[in-house]
Amino acid sequence: MHNAALGADKRTLSGMRPTGPLHLGHYFGALKNWVEMQDTLQAFFFVADWHALTSEFEDTARIKEYVPELVKDWVASGLDPEKCVIFRQSAIKEHAELHLLLSMITPVSWLERCPTYKEQQQQITDKDLSNYGFLGYPVLMATDIIMYRPKWVPVGADQLPHLELTREIARRFNNLYGEYFPEPEARLTPAAKCPGLDGRKMSKSYHNYIGLNESMDEITPKVRGMLTDKARLRKTDPGDPDVCNLFPYHELLTDAATRAEIREGCTTATLGCVDCKKILLRNLAAFLEPLHERRARLDADPNAVRDILEAGNAKARAFAQGTMRDVRRLMHMD
Ligand code: TRP
- Ligand 1 near 186 CB (within 6 A): no
Higher-pLDDT residue of 247, 3? 247
Q: Which of 223, 219, 245, 220 is nearest to 232 (CA)?
A: 245
Give the alpha-carbon dihedral of 184, 44, 143, 71, to 10 degrees: 130
In short, whether 48's Cβ falls inside 6 Å of ligand 1 is: yes
Judge if the beta carbon of residue 145 lies within 6 A of ligand 1.
Answer: yes
Nearest residue (by CA) to ligand 1, atom 3, is 16
Percent of the chain with pLDDT over 90: 82
With a cut of 80, say whether residue 5 has pLDDT above it: no
Q: Closest ligand 1 atom, CA of 137? A: 1
> Distance, CA 269 to ligand 1 centroid (Å)?
45
What pLDDT does residue 205 have? 83
Which residues touch 278 (CB under 8 Å, ≥6 apart)? Answer: none
Helix (H/G/I), strand (E/B), else coil: 66: helix
**How many angstroms separate the alpha carbon of residue 258 from the centre of ligand 1?**
37
Q: Are 138 and 166 in contact (CB under 8 A)?
A: yes
Query: For residue 218, what pLDDT is reported?
Result: 97
CA 222 to chain centre: 24
Does ligand 1 come within 6 angstroms of the Cβ of 284? Answer: no
pLDDT of residue 191: 61
**Please, is 58 exposed, middle or buried when counting C-beta atoms within 10 Å of its C-beta (0-12, 13-18, 19+)?**
exposed
Query: Is 239 in a helix, a strand, or coil?
Result: coil
Does the C-beta of 159 come closer than 6 Å to ligand 1? Answer: yes
Provide the residue type at 109 as one letter: S
Give the pLDDT of residue 196.
Answer: 93
Q: What is the mean pLDDT of residues 265-269?
A: 96
User: Would you tell me how many other CB atoms lie within 10 Å of the CB of residue 258?
Assistant: 13
